[in-house]
Amino acid sequence: MSIRRTTKAARGAVAMASAVGLALVVAGCGGGGDGGGRTDGKNPPSRSATPKDGGPGTPAADSSKVIGEMKGPDGVVVTLNSVVRDSGGFVTVSGTVANRGTRAFNAIDWRSNETELRSRSSISGATLVDKAGKKRYLVLRDTNGECLCTTGLSGLMPGASRPIFAQFPAPPAKVTEVDFQLPTMPPASVQITD
């Protein structure tokens, strides 16, 4: 197959993924009557520092449930809310990163160090570790080298937080406990739920 055909096929896949993501955004923005819209036509709706979900591609996590916490340098705290195994053979880790420090946070140190991958300020360097089975699972990638994880984690101001997620290949079904690791952060032992 020529490079031109490969490029066209990759663009088509990206266009399809973008269309699916846009459809999810539009479906999620339905008029739920929660009072979040404009009421007087002048004032914009108020925005929370921690959105209810992270938008397309970010699985919604129950933020009231805390299954793990990682405290790093400069007041950065990662709170883990769920580690879910799905029927497709994936494990999705969801949580929140909060900047409790005094200066802006950029997740540049959390990205993977593989030069052919494109994700910049992201959690692409995250891993799941099965200590008993002595295996490490890396964040999944799409055909363009982008991680299946939260990207664009730059300029997180003090007091702000953002939802995060990362998808990994699922360990064997008998594995129910893993360590979630991010560079510069201590690991957190978490239970995988089905």
Residue 107 tokens, joined: 């997740």
* Residue that wins the pLDDT comparison between 113 and 94: 94
* Residue that wins the pLDDT comparison between 175 and 56: 175
Most confident of 6-10, 40-44, 89-93, 145-149: 89-93
Report d(CA 26, CA 145) in Å as an integer.
26
Residue 61 tokens, joined: 């996590």
Q: Give pTM, 2 decimals.
A: 0.65
Least confident of 1-10, 67-76, 104-113, 163-172: 1-10
Can you give the pLDDT at residue 119?
54
What is the arithmetic mean of pLDDT over 45-70? 54
Whether the CB-CB separation of 60 and 52 falls below 8 Å is answered with yes
Residue 121 tokens, joined: 């300020």
